Structure formats: C-alpha cells, structure tokens
Structure 1
Amino acid sequence: MTERAQTRETGFHGGKGPAARSRAMRLRRALTVFVGALLFLVLFWGAVALQRVSLSGSAFNQILDADRIYNLTNVWTIHLKFEPDQWEAMEPKGGSNPFFGGPQGGRPGGGRGANGDRSLAPVFMSHGDSDRDGRISQHEFAGLAERWFKAWDTNQSGKLDESQIRAGLGKIRNPAPEGISAMLLAPEGKRNGIGAALGFEFEYVHADLEFEGRLLYDVGVRYKGNGTFMESRNSLKRSLKVQLNKYVKGQSLDGVTTLNLQNNVTDVSMMNEVLAYRLYRDAGVPAPRTAYARVFVTVPGKHDRQYLGLYSMSEAVDKKFAERHFGTKRGALFKPVTPSLFTDLGADWSAYNQIYDPKGALYDEQKKAVMELSRFVTHADDATFAAHIGEFIDLPEFARFMAVMVYLSDLDGILGPGQNLYLYLHPKTQQFQFIPWDQDHSWGQFDRASQEQRDKLSIHRPWQGDNYFLERMFKVEAFKRPYIERLTEFSRTLFRPERFAQQVDEVAAAIRLAVQEESAEKLARFDKVVAGETLQRGGFGPFGGQTKPIKPFTVARTESIRDQLAGKSEGMIAGAGFPGGFGGGSSLGNMFGRSLCQTLDRDKDSFVTLDEFTDGFAKLFEKWDGDKNGHLTLVDVRAGIEKHLPPAAQRFPPFGGGPDGRGGSRGGPGDPGGFAGDPNRFGGGLSGDRRPVPTQQNSQSNNQGSLQQPPVN
C-alpha cells in the first residue's frame, strides 16, 4: 500500500483510522461492563458472607461450622419465628400424672413392666429357646418344663408347692425395670423417658431460624427433655430441638443439622452439663461439644422477639459425631434405657428394640451383636466372662468412661436407673463404646442419695441397687486395672479442684450478662452458686433438695477419691434411692408364683407334680400357639402370659423419700410420699393446658401404698 493510501486509511501517519477507533471503543465498553459486573458480584457475595458472620464479632469472622459453633464459651444469638398455628401445634397434648392419682393416673408407663411382657415373657424366651432361633418349639417348651421342675424340686419329693415355685422363679433375674426405671421405658415405638410415660409426645412444627443474622427457612422445631420439660412446663423457657434439614433437604449451618438447646432448669449455674462433657472429652471419652445461645422467639400477635433466656447447646450424637470420633459413619448407635443392661431377653429382637432404642435402621448382625452380648453377660461363667468380655466391649474406653462417671457421682445414668448414655457399635472392631448424655444432674447433683454418700461414693461399688452388668465388670481385672489407673492418673491431673474452679469462673464470665438479661433474681442465685454457695434448688418429687455446687463438690470428691485410692477410706455405697430400687427388685416369684402354681395344679391339692407340671406346660403351649405352626414367638408368649398367667397386682411405690429409700422427709411432717412443692410441677394441669399455666397449691391425696399381691382368682 502506498503511503498516501495508508494515510487515507488511518487518518495520520502511523495512527489509526475510524474503524480501528470504533473497535477500541467497543472493547473499552465491554471491559467496563465486565469490571462492573465483577464488582457487583464481589459486593453481592460480600454481603452474603456478612450474614454468615457473628454480629457480635466475638468468636469468628468466617464461615460457620461445627468446630467454630461448639466452643465452650461462645454465646450465640438465635431467633425463632413461628406462625401462630405452628406455635400452638408444638404444645404437647394431655399428659397423665401417676404420682397424684386422678382420672389419668394409673401406673407409670401404661402398666408395662407390671405384667409379663417385659418380665416373664423374655424369661420364657431366653430359657426356652435352646437353639436361639427366636422361637420356642413344642419340644423346647417341654424341655423347659422338665428343667424347671427338676431345679425347683430341691428336696426331690416329686412335687412342688407354691413356695417352691415362688423360690424357683425368684432365682431368675427379673429383666423388667420397676419403680422409676419402669417409667423411663415407653410403649413400643414411643420416645423413652419419664415425660413420654406421662403421655407427652413432642411433634415437630415449622419455623424460621435466624442464627447470628443468618436466615434459615422452614426448619423443624420441637420441645425436648423429660424431667426438664415437666419442670419448665409453666414457663416459656423450655428445652428445644431444632432440626435444620427436617423440611428442607440438605439445609444446615455449614454441616451442622441439629441444634439441641437445653434450658438447664434444674441447674442454677447453667454449666453442669457443659463442664461434665468437657471433663469426659479431656479424659479421652467421646462426648458432645457445647456452646451457649441467647434464644428469642417471635409469634405474631403473641410474642415479639421475646427473650426466652440463656440455653446451652449440645452437639448431636449422630453419624457425623461417630465419623469424627470413630472414623466411620457405618456403626450403630443405641440409646438404651434399662437398669439391667445386657440382660438376655431371648433371640427375638423385638424384645430389645424399645429398650436399646437404635438411632437408625439396623443390619441383622448389629441386632445379633446386642443379643449375643446380652446372652454372654447373663449366662457366661466368671472365668469365661473375664476372658472374653473384651471382645464385646472396648475395655480401655469403658474404663475412662466409668472413671469420669464415678468421679461425677452421676446417679442419673448407668449407676442408677440406666439412662442418659449412648452405645456405639464399631463396624470394624465389633466392640461397644460408651458415650455420655444428659449431664445436668452430674457433679453429684442428683439427690437420690445423701450428699455425704455422693461426695464419698465408693469407687469399687458405685452403683445403686442391683446392677448385674456392673457387678460382673468390676470383677474383671482387664477392666478394673485400667479403671483404677485412670482414677489414679486423673486424681493428679484432671480432677484437681482448682482446675474446675478456674473453668467455672471462665464460663461464668462468658455467660453472666446473658443470665442477667433473664432476671435479677436468677443472676443473684447464679452468682451465689458460682461462688460455691449451696442453695435450695427446687424441683418435683425428690429432685428439689439442696446440692453442692461444682466448686465445693469437687473439693470433697477429689479428696475422697484420693483417700480411697490410698486405702485410707472405703468410700460409701449409695442408698437405694427411690423405693423399690432399680430393676430386678420385684421377684418373678412374687409376681407370678401363685398364678403359675394355680394354673398347673390340676387337682387343686396345692401341690404340682411332675406330671401336672409338664402336662400343664403342654396345655399352655397349645393355647398360646394360636396359628398352630408348632412354635411360639415372643408375641405369642406375651399374649399367653397376659391371658393365662396374670401377675400379682402391684401398686407403684411412693415417689421420693430419703437416701435409704424411705419416704417422708422432703415434703415436711405428714407428707407420706416425701414430696416437695405442688403437684402441678409436672405440668400445670393435666388436660393439655396451654403455656404458661399459673401454679396452684392444690391439696391432692397421694394414691400411694406398699406393694400388694392379692390372690389370683
């Protein structure tokens, strides 16, 4: 191209023409749009990120996750928003009160445990099902009759009277809980616990949740707890469970899907559970992490950002918990409720399901693991038990678990009625491990024994009443040795009173302002307990007495542990607590001896011969085998016992009483049951009244009495 032509094209020598300038302008405009869009995205996502950051700025400035949420002294702000109909729907309906009689009274737990479905029926299955196929054949049933007659005919007279039948049945451990423990076990498929036994069922409702400014829509919320629910039923501040992904699949706080909010209604310090879990974790025991939350609620027309109060937040024991502690989600989780842990109930899983309350579907081998361990604990001789129990239970972990529980004098768990724990069955080792739960009555604050007994609880015999599983475990050197070693180690390190005092002060400083927001009265009581002053705690039944706060308790408890380890003291065995003990207290002989004798005594001469015994069993088999298939299942046996072998009538013993199980101390002179306060502590009315209900000091008769066994007609 000539220079002239080039000049005409570009407009100047070495410059650019109109076409080139047009292209450059378009490029600049596109670049401007791109930069603007990029800036918009940066600002947008920055705003979104701000919603994921604590407004207080006290704990973190990044994305939420479990590790950042569950920090011991974090105090989060939670705002729950309900539509009025959902708020009303969350209120549980009904609820009976067996302790004070009335139209909805009756025996706790709907009578389960008072009849044969959880006592004699499992005994028939465990003793009669020789081949462990979950059924009893006609041949096996006949063999059971012959074995029992031979064992019970101690004088070899060839006949049995009622006393011998009573004695024979009485030698068999009653697998059914009774008293308070019976109340904890709900009918099949229901939520276990004293609240469920009283008829309270908690249903999830829809709500929106704001967590430190971050909004989560359509979460599931329900009430939680048993004793704590009844303690707080007249209040807005009740324990809550929030399921973030209940209605929106995958919704979470960056992996956290469940918020357990405890109201700590029985704990003035609001830190019993928090510091107990910390002690377990410090001791190497898998235990939930915790934080705190200031909880507000809005219900249009009812509550406008109403402050419910300060709650503790506990990490859920679920598959994510298992993965973090055990490296896998594939294991099985159970939440047992029984004072007779690992008692043989036969080879039919339905006898175990409600008791062990699996958290999720089980494989057959996982069910079998529970049943095999139960059979082993119940029937193995001492040498075999000592040699092989380590194949079923992680003994080093169990030693740590028990060392901490015994230090805490936690009489509301495996040492007492047999609740407040999880079991984890590891899929690789096939060993069970123990996980603590619900520790609001730890630090010796469940007053089923005297304060002195809790302070000096024996390290060699720490359980109340009969506990066959622990009795056997404490005779096994492979458990007892590491258990004593851990107590010795921890008494020099983790159990130092000054360490606990520092932790109490640290937590108190973090939560004091939130306590003050609730009321000046709560703050005054809080400050006294933090300082170590003993207060009258308040509570229903026997749960409202004076208990030592953490600081003075740990001084006394650590001294007792050290003295017992040094051989200077034997410690103290806790009294039976509630009347009747915990499991195994009602003899099968007392319950069924007369009924069985009368059923088998064909000629009514008050004696049962071998022929009458075996012939009577044959007739029972024929009656119970309703479908005539030649086998009896647990369902068949349960129905048959209910129809043909009714137990002697039993009345629920008085609730409450002194440390040795005798009533009459806490309710003042003339109070036969030892009750303190008013009956409405169980719920402010028994007809489904809405919250809150004013407390009324109603005088009600105690429908209580001693055990009775009238004749069976």
Structure 2
Amino acid sequence: NYLGQKGEIDGMTNLTFNNNKQDGSLMSQFMSYTLFNAVGSPAPRCAYAQVTVNGQNLGIYSHVERIHKPFLKRAFGNDNGTLYEGTLIDFRPGWVNGFEHKLGSDEVGRQKIQQLIEVLEGEDKNIEEAIGQLVDLDSFYTFWVMEGLLGLWDGYSGDENNFFFYLNPETDKFHFIPWGADHGFSRFQGKRQYDEPPPISVKTQGLIAYRLYQIESCRQRYEKTLREILAKHWKEDEVLAQTEQLEALLQPYMISHQKIMTQGKAFSNNKKRIKGEGLGKGSRRSIGDFIRYRREEISNEIANGMPIWTVPPKSLFAKEKQSPSDRTHLKGGGNSSSKKEKKNITQQQIEGLIEGWINYFRTASEQQTHQAIQSQKFQALPLEIKEGILNRVEELKLNLVAEKIKKVLEK
C-alpha cells in the first residue's frame, strides 16, 4: 500500500518484521505469543518471513502482527477505544504524558492513566478494588502470570517495558497486551541488582504487579491463576513438539550467521542436554530445557504458597517512598533485610538503560524513533546517558537515530 493506499492483506495495512537480534533461537516471539493467545490473553499473532532487500537475503524474520485496529477488533471485538504503548515507563507521578498514544481519545485515556497513578501512589487499604476500577483484573492476572511463567524479564511486570494497554470501551478499563517478546524462555532476572535473587514464579517490577503482590489475597489469586495455567496449558510434550516443528521449518531458510546463532541453542530431541546449559546472551539454558524444567522449578518455589517479596520496583529516575517495611524483603517465609538502596545510578544500571533504548531503536519505525526521542522520558535522561546512547547508535550505524539525538543535544 505504499503506492496504493487502500491496499491491504487480510485487513492489515502494515507488516512488522523483527530480526530477532536478542533471540538466538528465533522462536521466543512465536512461542510466547502462541501461549498468550492459548490462555486467552490477547497477544499479536506471529509467523515467519524470509526477507530479501534489493536481492540480498537477510534471512528469517519474525512477522509480528501490528497492535492496531485490526488486532483490537479481533482481540476485543471493537477498535474504538484508546491504545497506548509503554517503553521503559510505569504509572508514576509526573509520568502521565510519557506513554505513547496510538489510537482513540487521548484526553480520556490520560485522565484514566492519571487516576491509576494516584491509586498506585496512595495508601488505599482496598487498593485491589481501586485498581480493579481502572484495570481489568481478570485479564491482568492472566497477562501477569504468563510474563512470569515464560520468563519475560523485559516486559511490563519484569522491567516496566514492552507493553501496550487498551482502554476497552466495553469494560471502561485498561487491558494489557505483551510486546517485544524476543527475550522469553529465560531464567535471566533482568539487569537490576538485588541483595537476594527475586522469585522465579512472579515478577513485580511493574507498579501494578508490585502493589497487588503485597496483599495476601492477591498472591493467592496469582497462585490460583498460575496453577490453572500450568495444569491446563503448560503441556511440555506439546510445546516441545512445536519447537521441533519450528526448527525443521526454519533450518532450510537460515543464513549463515543465524545458523551459527542457533547452533546448540534450540532444543530438538536432545533430552540428555545438561540442565542449566545456556541459550545465548542473558539465558542460562536452552528453550527445550526451560520447557522441561519450568513446572518443577515453579512448583518447588510455590509448594507452600507464593514467596513473599516486598522489594519496591527500582526505577532509575523516580524517587521512591520507602518505609522500613519497604526496605525488607522476605522469600519462602524467611526474613532478610536488604541494604538501603543507593541514590546514585551504578555503571551497570547506566549500561542497562542505554541497552534498553538501543534495543528499542533497532526495531522502531522512523515515526516511533522521533516520538521516543522527543518524549519526556528521553528528554529527562542525564546527559551522560544520552551521549552513551548516541555513541552506541553511531557504532551500530543507526544514522537516522543518531541525527535525531544530535539535534536534541545541540539544543
């Protein structure tokens, strides 16, 4: 439809291709979205494409359904609500305008976002009910559990990143949608540092998840949802069979660097693989091993109920309110005091933040790049981080991004 604006394929006017640079197996997005949809949590459909540009074979890309009106119509039965995208952002005071507006009434959407920010910032004893007035909790618990089950450390509950949320006119509440799921099937817990390892069965970096998880009845609801999904949908043999089918499908179309990248990182029938063997950067095992052992790992952790975890979400730029209880976290019924958090950003945190922006810019459209650089989030970054991002995009020859960042730095 570049030449004919009315052109479409099965109702779609945009195609999104992802090069899976973060996913050595090439399977995380396909598998993750398939499982989200299977449990009834709306997620984009995903396929594969062999991409050729000017005669050059670029290999296999994931073909991911765009989160736009056709998706909303399919997933929610309507497309006249308000849609936002969240990238390295959460529902914090002063951040109401940081979410990227995609569709619908922005005025109505921002009002709802501000209401949610105030609820999360407040001390309402009935906070689950208050959140439930603004967020569809049935769908949120399913979304939240799936992020934890699949090890999606770079999603909303794990990293305040890679998510959409839709103000559904039928419920007048927000519904969350996963995005950027090329980091799943991993035991990596993210780039934030903790005094003790966080739970593997749940992620609470997202403020909504964190506030809910501090309530016993909410932990019980999370556990109930998790156990139901494990029982009904986590069928190891079926999921492993799908990985084998995908491996057979993709292998003939991989270009050389993809073959090297996937070698030893997918799964096949190798059930003798050593437990804990790695799958590329940031992962501790292959996808196959993750699938085989995930139920056992989680079941062991939640045998006596969900582990207690009270460490507040660590935002690099938001000042946290901390009470003595906030600075103590419990796990598996034990007591342990965490050290008072440092106010200064560590070098590792700086590098993690820079890498987060780089990962976004690698796959963002020109319009998304422009909006991100002009956003309040980017403008508020310390000069050191902006310069670090600029250096990285220049190394990667992301020339368009570099030009836009230079214009910001020149002001």
Given the two structures, how large is their TM-score scaled by the length of structure 1? Answer: 0.42
| 2:43 maps to 1:287 | yes
CA apart distance, 1:481: 4.1
1:508 to 224, 244, 247: 247
Distance 1:500 1:524 in 2: 24
| 2:202 maps to 1:448 | no
| CA offset digits 1:399-420 (Å, max 9, x no partner) | 1111111111221122333110
Match of 1:343 in 2: 92
Q: Is the 8 A contact 2:84 2:165 kept in 1?
A: yes
| 2:392 maps to 1:682 | yes
State the secondary structure of the residue aligned to 1:440. Answer: coil
Match of 2:117 in 1: 374
State the secondary structure of the residue aligned to 2:21. Answer: coil
| CA offset digits 1:461-480 (Å, max 9, x no partner) | 6335xx54322212456754
The aligned amino acid for 2:248 is A
2:161 to 384, 403, 419: 419
Match of 1:326 in 2: 76
State the secondary structure of the residue aligned to 1:256. Answer: coil
The aligned amino acid for 1:682 is R
Structure 2 counterparts to residues 113-124 of structure 1, below 5 A: none
State the secondary structure of the residue aligned to 2:87. Answer: coil
State the secondary structure of the residue aligned to 1:439. Answer: coil
Distance 1:326 1:310 in 2: 30
Q: Is the 8 A contact 2:163 2:177 kept in 1?
A: yes
CA apart distance, 1:530: 2.0
Distance 1:409 1:399 in 2: 15
CA apart distance, 1:278: 0.7
CA apart distance, 1:585: 6.2
| 2:151 maps to 1:409 | yes
Q: Is the 8 A contact 1:457 1:574 kept in 2?
A: no
Gaps of 5+ in 1: 1-215, 220-246, 299-304, 346-350, 538-543, 590-649, 660-678, 691-713
The aligned amino acid for 1:261 is F
CA apart distance, 1:311: 0.6
Distance 2:191 2:232 in 1: 27
Distance 1:586 1:494 in 2: 40
| CA offset digits 1:262-302 (Å, max 9, x no partner) | 1112212100111001111111100000111111111xxxx
Which structure: larger Rg? 1
Structure 2 counterparts to residues 103-122 of structure 1, below 5 A: none
Q: Is the 8 A contact 1:285 1:400 kept in 2?
A: yes
Q: Is the 8 A contact 1:497 1:551 kept in 2?
A: no
State the secondary structure of the residue aligned to 1:582. Answer: coil
Distance 1:413 1:327 in 2: 25
Q: Aligned in 2, Cα 1:448/1:373: closer, same or farther, shift over 3 Å?
A: closer
Q: Is the 8 A contact 2:45 2:64 kept in 1?
A: yes
| 2:63 maps to 1:313 | yes
Q: Is the 8 A contact 1:291 1:313 kept in 2?
A: yes
Distance 1:658 1:498 in 2: 39
| CA offset digits 1:599-656 (Å, max 9, x no partner) | xxxxxxxxxxxxxxxxxxxxxxxxxxxxxxxxxxxxxxxxxxxxxxxxxxx9753136
Match of 1:523 in 2: 259
Distance 1:436 1:472 in 2: 20
Structure 2 counterparts to residues 160-559 of structure 1, below 5 A: 219=2, 248-298=4-54, 305-339=55-89, 341-345=90-94, 352-353=96-97, 355-383=98-126, 385-444=127-186, 446=188, 448=190, 457-459=199-201, 462-464=203-205, 468-476=207-215, 479-515=218-254, 518-519=255-256, 522-523=258-259, 525-531=261-267, 534-535=277-278, 537=280, 544-559=281-296
Q: Aligned in 2, Cα 1:376/1:575: closer, same or farther, shift over 3 Å?
A: closer
Match of 1:582 in 2: 315
Distance 1:309 1:281 in 2: 27
| CA offset digits 1:567-620 (Å, max 9, x no partner) | 28949x7999xxx9434665699xxxxxxxxxxxxxxxxxxxxxxxxxxxxxxx
| CA offset digits 1:661-687 (Å, max 9, x no partner) | xxxxxxxxxxxxxxxxxx999346388
Q: Is the 8 A contact 2:219 2:306 kept in 1?
A: no
Distance 1:546 1:681 in 2: 26
Distance 1:387 1:588 in 2: 22
Q: Aligned in 2, Cα 1:368/1:546: closer, same or farther, shift over 3 Å?
A: closer
| CA offset digits 1:404-460 (Å, max 9, x no partner) | 11111221122333110100101132111110000001112656369xx9998343x
Structure 2 counterparts to residues 132-143 of structure 1, below 5 A: none
Give % identity.
24
The aligned amino acid for 1:582 is S
Gaps of 5+ in 2: 323-342, 353-388, 401-411
The aligned amino acid for 1:322 is L
Structure 2 counterparts to residues 629-668 of structure 1, below 5 A: 653-655=346-348
Q: Aligned in 2, Cα 1:656/1:549: closer, same or farther, shift over 3 Å?
A: farther
State the secondary structure of the residue aligned to 1:252. Answer: coil
| CA offset digits 1:3-51 (Å, max 9, x no partner) | xxxxxxxxxxxxxxxxxxxxxxxxxxxxxxxxxxxxxxxxxxxxxxxxx
CA apart distance, 1:369: 1.5
Q: Is the 8 A contact 1:560 1:569 kept in 2?
A: no
CA apart distance, 1:364: 2.9
CA apart distance, 1:559: 0.8
Distance 2:396 2:61 in 1: 27
Distance 1:337 1:366 in 2: 17
The aligned amino acid for 1:653 is T
State the secondary structure of the residue aligned to 2:128. Answer: helix
CA RMSD of aligned residues (A): 3.7
Match of 1:564 in 2: 301
Match of 2:409 in 1: none
Q: Aligned in 2, Cα 1:658/1:369: closer, same or farther, shift over 3 Å?
A: closer
The aligned amino acid for 2:284 is T
Distance 1:575 1:448 in 2: 15
The aligned amino acid for 2:112 is A
Distance 1:656 1:381 in 2: 32
Q: Is the 8 A contact 2:83 2:167 kept in 1?
A: yes
Q: Is the 8 A contact 1:424 1:434 kept in 2?
A: yes
Distance 1:389 1:686 in 2: 42
The more displaced of 327-336 and 556-565 is 556-565
Distance 1:687 1:503 in 2: 36
Q: Give the count of matched residue pairs.
A: 335
Q: Aligned in 2, Cα 1:294/1:549: closer, same or farther, shift over 3 Å?
A: same
Distance 1:686 1:310 in 2: 20
Q: Is the 8 A contact 1:386 1:477 kept in 2?
A: no
